[in-house]
Amino acid sequence: MTNGFKFGGYKGQMLRVDLTKKAVTKEPLREDWARDFIGGAGYSARLLYDEIPAKADPLGPANKLLFMTGPVNGTMIPAASRSTACAKSPLTGSFFHSIFGGYWGPELKFAGYDGLVVEGKADKPVYLWIDDGRIEIRDASHLWGKNPFKAQEMIRQEIGDDQIRIATIGEAGEHGVAYAIILLDIRAAGRGGMGAVMGSKNLKAIAVRGTGSVSVPNVLRVYNTALRLNQVVETNPAVMGLSEYGTPRNVLSMNAAGILPTRNWQTESFARAEGISGETMKETVVKGHRACFACSINCTKYSVVPSGKYKSIINGPDYETVYGFGSICEVDDIKAICKVDEVCDEYGIDLIQASMSVAWAMECYEKGIFTKADTGGLDLTWGNADAMIHLTEMIGKREGLGALLAKGTREAAKIVGKGSERFVISNKGVDWPGHSCRPWPGTAVGYATGPRGGSHHDIRPTLEKSGAVDRKVLEGKGAMAAEVNHWLILADSAVVCHLAEPIWGPAKVSDNLVDALNAVTGWNLNYAEARKIAERQWNMIRCFAAREGFTRTDDTLPIRFMEEPVPDGPMKGSLISKETLEGLKDQYYEYRGWDKKTGNPSKAKLTELGLEFAIKDIC
């Protein structure tokens, strides 16, 4: 294998850049960690547990930013496009893995590295140029303040190659907006504020050119595995809908089922959902499809609004955008949503978090907590698309009310008070994606206990939503959530895309995921061994949080979900009361072998998983 590394799929080498010392080093990937934590989120959690001191300032030089691939990433296995950007998050204050697709991750591997650790802080704006084995730290003073697309264009011109892959931050990342993103090709590391961490290091961009390849022990075995898994993709109706309409494919069916979150989650039915559906998108703005590396699903749409006040060109919008800036703000104009999507990308901010901040402000305005004196004259009435776009620009610039919202809704509500905490739809500082949980107790406990709070990629609603599991039964839902956690974290360590859920999920670590890992690495993992790795990864992330001081009380849901039942529609009356949630948490901790009082992994569990080194920190 490459660099004499024992296992297939890996390059066997990590790149480390210390921006304070302007030092670049190459170091071996640890074989024991590769076997115990795979790569991506799992490997990153293990490495950053050792290297980021407890209580480090997320935006200080002691925090580290780790871009990590996995063994499957960069091979022909379907949807093997993904990689992770990991750090201590300025939003949550704990370990965060932000997943991204596109081409940047595979390119890093082709350049010869499984991962890139960025540490310290440059004394002025810089960008990294990784050209296979040659690494340069270049001046980026002229790029600072440029939007990510402009910065990418300028770097491509400087280097004289329009095929290189570039990760870039926008103004939001430069200014420490807590939910700044990193833009990479057609996708983004969108959640958890990884762009703010990158900006805090004065790092504007990372350009990569890789001309190598990924070695596997038996190409024919990988080819046959990819062929078989691609057949699952090509014949699954859910995936076919994803190809045709993108992730907004289910807007109308979700609305009909009463699970399309609306008006900052005051209800879950939107009377004007037609305007933001995948079908409307396809008819009015979508001009083409975009695929990530090795993915035949093509879920990303390329949309153009050619003229008028909403003139824009974007890769998207995704479901989370049409939810957040659509039904959540009661806006039904898909062109306005394209425009606000473009604004978010140009400033480099997380669409979900930005839209939920705007919705929180709209509800404050509805309830009289904000007046035009607070909003800079903006009329934040539900459905006012122009005000929504304007306020989003203010977040990007950190101007007026935008400066408050740039802190995230949880922090904004702490400052404003007056009962506005009730309108915060967040857990651990991360605002909610467009997936309901009031009707689904297993999903609810998954959200509550998830290390990333409001993340629909620490839990999936598929089992309860599809009826495969009786949604009204509480018993067994803690175990269900834990097993769903396992397939998700293993996928995030391999690294493959969750949207190909029919291949990798939805109930537990699937044989397909184990087959893909074995084919690429040459391992012979069985189901129990793969599940154990996933359990170890999940516990590792929990140890990080526990060391930062997180406890059982941080595993919670938004007040609205615990106290305000869905008021109308098919899910009318649905609610996860505080009492129900606490019972579900007991189930979850017990199934995991965690201490019910603290929510921390027990000594016995840590010993069983080979995580004894964390006992002194959290037990």
Nearest distance from residue 230's CB to ligand SF4, in Å? 12
Per-residue buried b or exposed e for 564-599, using 16+ beta carbons within 10 Å of the residue's own CB = eebeebebeebbbeeebbebbbebbbebbbbbeebb
DSSP code at position 76: S
DSSP code at position 596: T
Question: What residues make contact with ligand SF4 under the rule CB under 6 A?
Answer: 79, 81, 101, 291-292, 295, 297-300, 497, 499-500
CA 40 from chain centre, in angstroms, equals 13
Nearest distance from residue 78's CB to ligand SF4, in Å? 8
The pair phi, psi for residue 431, each rounded to 5°, is: -75, 160
- DSSP bridge partners of 118: 17, 65
- DSSP bridge partners of 83: 100
Nearest distance from residue 504's CB to ligand SF4, in Å? 11
Query: Based on CB atoms, which residue is closest to ligand SF4, 160 or 237?
Result: 237
- Beta carbons within 8 Å of 307's beta carbon, 6+ residues apart: none
Nearest distance from residue 303's CB to ligand SF4, in Å? 15
The sign of the CA dihedral 87, 90, 92, 97 is: negative
Nearest distance from residue 538's CB to ligand SF4, in Å? 22
Query: Based on CB atoms, which residue is closest to ligand SF4, 122 or 495?
Result: 495
Amino acid at 389: I
Q: Tell me whether strands 286-290 and 203-209 are parallel, antiparallel or unpaired.
A: unpaired
- DSSP bridge partners of 594: 601
CA angle 323/326/329 to nearest 5° reads 105
Nearest distance from residue 233's CB to ligand SF4, in Å? 9
Q: What are the tokens at 549?
A: 């001081």
**Ordered DSSP codes for 193-256:** THHHHHHHTTEEEEEEE-------S-HHHHHHHHHHHHHHHHH-HHHHHHHHH-GGGGHHHHHH
What order do you get walking across the sheet with 312-315 strand by strand?
286-290, 300-305, 312-315
Query: Based on CB atoms, which residue is closest to ligand SF4, 129 or 323?
Result: 323
Query: Based on CB atoms, which residue is closest to ligand SF4, 484 or 500?
Result: 500
Query: Based on CB atoms, which residue is closest to ligand SF4, 45 or 299?
Result: 299
Query: Based on CB atoms, which residue is closest to ligand SF4, 292 or 394?
Result: 292
Nearest distance from residue 289's CB to ligand SF4, in Å? 8
Nearest distance from residue 517's CB to ligand SF4, in Å? 17
Q: Tell me whether strands 13-18 and 115-119 are parallel, antiparallel or unpaired.
A: parallel
Residues in the chain: 619
Element (H, E) at 353: helix 351-366
Query: Based on CB atoms, which residue is closest to ligand SF4, 98 or 375?
Result: 98
Query: Based on CB atoms, which residue is closest to ligand SF4, 241 or 583?
Result: 241
Query: Based on CB atoms, which residue is closest to ligand SF4, 300 or 312?
Result: 300
Quick one: 254 exposed, middle or buried, by C-beta within 10 A (0-12, 13-18, 19+)? Answer: buried
Nearest distance from residue 500's CB to ligand SF4, in Å? 6
Nearest distance from residue 573's CB to ligand SF4, in Å? 35
Quick one: 237 exposed, middle or buried, by C-beta within 10 A (0-12, 13-18, 19+)? Answer: exposed
Nearest distance from residue 591's CB to ligand SF4, in Å? 30
Nearest distance from residue 312's CB to ligand SF4, in Å? 21
Query: Based on CB atoms, which residue is closest to ligand SF4, 12 or 317?
Result: 317
Query: Based on CB atoms, which residue is closest to ligand SF4, 490 or 497?
Result: 497
Let me know: does 17 contact 128? Beta carbons within 8 Å. Answer: yes
Q: How far apart are CA 18 and CA 332, in angstroms?
A: 47
Query: Based on CB atoms, which residue is closest to ligand SF4, 408 or 502?
Result: 502
